[in-house]
């Protein structure tokens, strides 16, 4: 690892070098293919090197850009990974480790540009899908089907632990246990979705989890907390997965207290639509008097009609009329139905009447003031109910449902279980909206919504527009815009089904 002083010297040298070199620049675009669709983002060529706009790429795949222009520093945060760049330098940091991408980072027209060929491999290290740069086709491929070792689960059983490694098809493998209670699974021709697998680290059962990729094989290694003595393994086929049973006679679980299995199964066929607010809770109200609860119910009914017409899905609405439904009731409806997708539909509001655009959110701690404000408003009905009936000791402040330590643990479990799928579906909705809606795109974001907090399925909350904005209030009243929003969500549902259904 380079020292901080070495890193700073390299940054300065990079800035000076950029100022001295004479260059020729040609504007162009780069194609990004993802989840069966494609988008074009800004790019340029400099002396044979293609630079792509990380700013526009982040709008497609997610992540947060944090600008500190006084010091010419820019950060890109993607889940738990952080890239730190300095304008004009080829050196950057990834989670405090310094790297050199040969060519300097550029700032043009307010966008951050990076050399595609030398940077993509670093992005690939932390991204949940495979990212490949095709120089001949000037295309960045975000390929979720590249991996054939896709996921990991570990769960307690009556007499021990069950480890499952999920595959896209049957593969030859070997299981061996090494000193320190390491359970190692080597998979021939295995291509590991390392980011997804490593996200399944569960401190309750394991000390460590590693995913190692080499040419011709992939290896998953789990260091368990309990001593591994009796174990056996087998290959299952529906869906394809490697099962490793760790038999531990000292392990006890009260089967009488084991909850019923809830949540999605292997088919994507149960869609729960949640029209926000309703009854005594009008939600936001526009200057022209349009109520959020009415606009989102209209959109939800149109979406339900589209889905039912297709006959591939079962549709359940948390409300289909103007009635009060608590957030706990909404989650209970989804869980008891075995929801495969939970879609909560809302309209946004701001004290600034000029603010416009739509957002797609998934559950995670809010990472900016805008997301925090949205979550605070949408959670307000829940908080009012709690204040009116203070039967619990829990004290919530603002939208911070992650502040309480017990809730924090529960939320981490839920987010770990479905966050990747929720994020992916949010991006699918985002891409469909960008294609069909003329209103501004505010992109994919994350925040702590109570309504998503207790749903055991991939879940998103959609803000279809700002009802506080005069022009968007008019759109939200209109059947045409309501239909366009519904059709965009419906296309994303079909794309999600095609990708995730076993």
CATH of residue 158 = 2.60.40.3500
Q: Please, are residues 53 and 42 in contact by the beta-carbon 8 Å criterion?
A: yes
Give the end of a domain, one of 257, 291, 310: 257
Shared domain check, 434 and 334? yes
Shared domain check, 358 and 251? no
Shared domain check, 306 and 222? no
Shared domain check, 426 and 285? yes
Shared domain check, 443 and 365? yes
Cα 462 to Cα 38: distance, rounded to the nearest angstrom: 22
Given a cut of 70, whether residue 256 has pLDDT beyond it is no
Cα 323 to Cα 408: distance, rounded to the nearest angstrom: 31
Cα 170 to Cα 153: distance, rounded to the nearest angstrom: 17
Contacts of 54 (CB under 8 A, 6+ apart): 65, 76, 111, 112, 113, 114
Please calculate the CA angle 473-277-359 and round it to the nearest 5 degrees: 55
**Residue 105 lies in domain:** 4-142
Residue 194 lies in a domain: yes
Please calculate the CA angle 483-489-491 and round it to the nearest 5 degrees: 100
* Helices assigned H by DSSP within 203-274: none
The pTM of the whole model exceeds 0.75: no
More confident residue, 195 or 44: 44
Lowest pLDDT segment from 255-264, 341-350, 351-360, 471-480: 255-264
Give the end of a domain, one of 142, 170, 190: 142
Shared domain check, 134 and 153? no
Given a cut of 80, whether residue 17 has pLDDT beyond it is no
Shared domain check, 156 and 73? no
Residue 264 lies in a domain: no
Q: What is the CATH number of the domain that holds 96?
A: 3.30.457.10
Shared domain check, 347 and 201? no
Cα 406 to Cα 75: distance, rounded to the nearest angstrom: 31
Shared domain check, 386 and 366? yes
Given a cut of 60, whether residue 166 has pLDDT beyond it is yes
Cα 205 to Cα 256: distance, rounded to the nearest angstrom: 21
Nearest to 106 by CA among 7, 27, 190: 27
Shared domain check, 199 and 52? no
More confident residue, 452 or 256: 452
Residue 265 lies in a domain: no
CA 284 to chain centre: 27
Give the end of a domain, one of 215, 230, 257: 257
Residue 263 lies in a domain: no
Q: How many domains does the chain have?
A: 3
CA 257 to chain centre: 32
Give φ, ψ of 104 to 5 degrees.
-75, 150
Lowest pLDDT segment from 40-54, 191-205, 226-240, 318-332: 191-205
Contacts of 488 (CB under 8 A, 6+ apart): 429, 432, 433, 435, 436, 437
Residue 83 lies in a domain: yes
Shared domain check, 180 and 113? no
Shared domain check, 481 and 437? yes
The predicted structure's pLDDT at residue 4: 42
| DSSP E strand stretches across 58-125 | 64-68, 73-78, 81-86, 91-94, 97-100, 106-108, 111-115
């Amino acid at each position: 690892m380079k020292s901080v002083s070495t890193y700073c010297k390299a940054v300065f040298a990079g800035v000076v070098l950029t100022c001295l070199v004479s260059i020729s620049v040609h504007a162009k675009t780069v194609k990004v293919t993802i989840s069966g669709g494609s988008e074009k983002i800004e790019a340029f060529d400099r002396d044979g090197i293609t630079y792509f706009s990380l700013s526009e790429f982040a709008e497609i795949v997610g992540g947060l850009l944090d600008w500190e222009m006084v010091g010419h520093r820019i950060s890109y945060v993607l889940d738990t990974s952080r890239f730190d760049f300095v304008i004009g330098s080829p050196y950057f940091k990834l989670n405090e480790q310094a790297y050199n991408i040969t060519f300097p980072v550029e700032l043009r027209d307010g966008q951050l540009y990076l050399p595609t060929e030398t940077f993509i491999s670093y992005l690939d290290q932390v991204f949940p899908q495979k990212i490949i740069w095709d120089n001949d086709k000037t295309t960045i491929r975000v390929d979720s089907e590249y991996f054939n070792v896709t996921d990991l689960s570990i769960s307690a059983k009556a007499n021990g632990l069950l480890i499952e490694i999920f595959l896209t098809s049957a593969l030859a493998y070997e299981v061996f246990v090494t000193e320190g209670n390491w359970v190692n699974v080597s998979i021939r021709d295995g291509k590991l979705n390392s980011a997804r697998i490593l996200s399944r680290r569960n401190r309750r059962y394991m000390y460590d989890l590693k995913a190692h990729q080499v040419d011709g094989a992939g290896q998953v290694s789990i260091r368990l907390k309990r001593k591994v003595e009796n174990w056996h393994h087998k290959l299952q086929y529906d869906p394809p997965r490697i099962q490793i049973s760790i038999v531990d006679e000292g392990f006890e679980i009260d089967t009488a207290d084991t909850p019923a299995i809830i949540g999605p199964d292997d088919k994507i066929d149960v869609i729960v639509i949640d029209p926000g607010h309703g009854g005594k809770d009008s939600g936001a109200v526009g200057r022209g008097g349009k109520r959020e609860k009415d606009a989102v119910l209209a959109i939800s009914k149109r979406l339900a009609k589209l889905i039912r017409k297709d006959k591939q899905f079962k549709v359940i609405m948390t409300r289909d009329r103007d009635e009060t439904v608590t957030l706990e009731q909404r989650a209970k409806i989804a869980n008891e139905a075995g929801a495969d997708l939970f879609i909560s539909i809302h309209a946004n509001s701001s004290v600034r009447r000029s603010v416009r655009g739509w957002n797609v959110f998934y559950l995670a701690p809010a990472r900016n003031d805008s997301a925090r404000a949205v979550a605070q408003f949408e959670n307000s009905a829940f908080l009012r109910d709690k204040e009116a009936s203070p039967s619990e000791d829990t004290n919530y402040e603002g939208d911070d449902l992650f502040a309480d330590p017990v809730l924090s643990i529960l939320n981490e479990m839920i987010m770990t279980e479905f966050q990747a799928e929720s994020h992916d579906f949010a991006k699918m909705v985002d891409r469909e909206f960008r294609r069909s809606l003329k209103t501004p795109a505010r992109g994919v974001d994350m925040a702590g919504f109570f309504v998503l907090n207790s749903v055991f399925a991939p879940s998103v909350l959609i803000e279809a527009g700002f009802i506080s904005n005069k022009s968007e209030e008019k759109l939200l009243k209109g059947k045409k815009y309501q239909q366009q929003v519904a059709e965009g969500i419906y296309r994303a549902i079909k794309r999600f089904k095609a990708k995730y259904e076993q």
